[in-house]
Amino acid sequence: MRRPCVAGNWKMHKTVQESIALVKELMPGLDSIEKVDSVICPPFTALAKVSDLIKDSKIEIGAQNLYWEEQGAYTGEISPGMVAEVAEYVILGHSERRAYFQDTDDTVNKKVLAALNAGLKPILCVGETLEENEQGKTGAVVKRQLTAALKDVSVEKFGKIMIAYEPVWAIGTGKAATAEGANQVIKEFVRDQVASLYSNEAADKVRILYGGSVKPENAKEYFQQPDIDGALVGGASLKADAFIQITKAAA
């Protein structure tokens, strides 16, 4: 049995003070929910403070990006080692990074390899755009993204990765994929591609989250699907009540 995980991607929201306030609201609720992993991904500036706050909580923490070099003259960038000092997870390949910040299949692969080397657990995002979806390219896109991102990742290191299937047209739009539709993509394209890249055992073990307009009202439908192991939540992760309710639905 794969243990469910609900991860919150705060994106570019919350100052340090606001992050502290949200974490204080989240802790009692999330700590009382058993059998689900909870991960929150605040912005870089809040990571150190939040990681201190959650030390005695079961909440885990992730960053939203990193750069693959260990150090150097890369103004504005954050290295895997810097992230690993304050976080366990890191979201990589998010569609917003691919769309606005020139992340490519190749740079996502570099980031995945660097994150794993630093001992971080990547939450690797894949998903098709609306246009690709309408052209029937979902399977091809998702498989291409996975194959590229996982190039040179050993099966042992792959064990540290969670995958998030996030159809781009469902992110922040309120237009969520149907639970059956998301499950089908996850089973037929994501899990099967892991099986062909690694093994059936690796495919069986890897946790695959759905992301895109997950809310308290629709969360349960996703979690009832056999191949969906949790959610990567954007907008609804910024409100303690909503995030706690979604996490409860996964328990």
Which member of 94, 96, 132, 221 is catalytic?
94
Q: How far is the CB of 55 from ligand PGA (least distance, A)?
A: 26
Q: Is 166 a catalytic residue?
A: yes
Exactly one of 234, 240, 243, 246 binds ligand PGA (CB under 6 A); which one? Answer: 234
Q: How far is the CB of 183 from ligand PGA (least distance, A)?
A: 17
Which CB sits closer to ligand PGA, 80 or 235? 235
Which CB sits closer to ligand PGA, 99 or 155? 99
Contacting residues for 227 by C-beta, under 8 A, at least 6 apart: 183, 186, 187, 191, 208
233 binds ligand PGA (CB under 6 A): yes
Candidates 13-21, 134-142, 184-192, 234-242 — which segment interacts with ligand PGA by CB under 6 A?
234-242
* Residue whose entry in the numeric block shows the structure tokens 């050993």: 154
Exactly one of 66, 90, 142, 232 binds ligand PGA (CB under 6 A); which one? Answer: 232
101 binds ligand PGA (CB under 6 A): no
Q: Is 13 a catalytic residue?
A: no
CB 233 within 8 A of CB 213: no
DSSP string, the chain: -PPPEEEEE--S---HHHHHHHHHHHHHHHHT--S-EEEEE--HHHHHHHHHHTTTSS-EEEES---SSSSSS-TT---HHHHHHH-SEEEES-HHHHHHS---HHHHHHHHHHHHHTT-EEEEEE---HHHHHTT-HHHHHHHHHHHHTTT--HHHHTT-EEEE--GGGTTSS-PPPHHHHHHHIIIIIIHHHHHHS-HHHHHH--EEEESS--TTTHHHHHTSTT--EEEESGGGGSHHHHHHHHHHH-
Interface pattern 209-228 for ligand PGA (x via CB under 6 A): --xxxx--------------
Residues 141-200 that bind ligand PGA (CB under 6 A): 166, 171-172
Exactly one of 9, 138, 225, 247 binds ligand PGA (CB under 6 A); which one? Answer: 9
247 binds ligand PGA (CB under 6 A): no
Which member of 60, 96, 128, 166 is catalytic?
166
Candidates 24-32, 132-140, 186-194, 207-215 — which segment interacts with ligand PGA by CB under 6 A?
207-215
Q: Decide: residue 226, CB within 10 A, 0-12 exposed, 13-18 middle, 19+ buried.
A: exposed
Candidates 20-28, 60-68, 178-186, 205-213 — which segment interacts with ligand PGA by CB under 6 A?
205-213
Which CB sits closer to ligand PGA, 120 or 171? 171
Binding site for ligand PGA (CB under 6 A): 9, 166, 171-172, 211-214, 232-236
Active site residues: 94, 166
